[in-house]
Chain A
Amino acid sequence: EIVLTQSPDFQSVTPKEKVTITCRASQSIGSNLHWYQQKPDQSPKLVIKYASLSISGVPSRFSGSGSGTDFTLTINSLEAEDAAVYYCHQSSSLPHTFGQGTKLEI
């Protein structure tokens, strides 16, 4: 099973700040890494697919990068509505796995 380790676990941030969340895989997964946002009492929402591809309807301040084992989710000019837990997810091999989550507090 591929283990995904996110850092940090928690980050307190202020509006307009730039935020970077990292996700490291225990083995190479190519670009089969996706990012989800989960706000309190809501279902997860896809924000980045295949490491760096944007999702229709997701603000352009969200971007992703990386391949192999190291990945990054960047949120430029953070807004209050971005307060959430962010999860990375690998689909390179079964069982699919998720990172432990990174909570952004604004």
Chain B
Amino acid sequence: EVQLVQSGAEVKKPGESLKISCKGSGYTFTNHWIGWVRQMPGKGLEWMAIIYPGDSDTRYNPSFEGQVTISVDKSISVAYLQWSSLKASDTAMFYCARRGADSANYYDYWGQGTLVTVSS
């Protein structure tokens, strides 16, 4: 069974750093792109970035480039999303999602989400 399991909720202060994770299982992790999607409280979905675990090829939404960094550790089938200096406006739910096989461009499996709260 394909699963994406994300790390737990985080409460941070502005200026702090954070790295959240997404562990894939039940499939060949290196064969599927992993995307990250933000959902601010009460709002819609925003595509942030995507990474190919096989070679760490990465693409960012210009709106998020420089604000976050995505990475993978393929030896343990984990993708990461990190911030070096959080802002209150980073408060949101963050989802990882697996892109479909081959050249598929849809997201067929999603993690359960990681809620990040940034507050002084």
Contact = CB atoms under 8 A, between A and B. Distances in A.
Interface string B34-52: 0101000000111100100
Contacts of B37: 44, 98
Which range holds the interface residue count of chain A? 20 to 34
Given A95-B47, A96-B35, A96-B50, 17 more contacts: A1-B62, A32-B105, A34-B107, A43-B111, A43-B112, A45-B110, A49-B106, A85-B44, A87-B45, A94-B59, A94-B61, A95-B60, A95-B63, A97-B47, A98-B37, A98-B45, A101-B45
Contacts of B62: 1, 95
A1 B47 CA distance: 12
A16 to B, nearest CB: 28
Contacts of A43: 95, 110-113
Nearest to B107: A46
A91 interface: yes
Interface in A34-86: 34, 36, 38, 43-46, 49-50, 85
Contact of B47 (A46, A50, A98, A100): A98
Given A44-B95, A49-B100, A98 B44 contact: yes
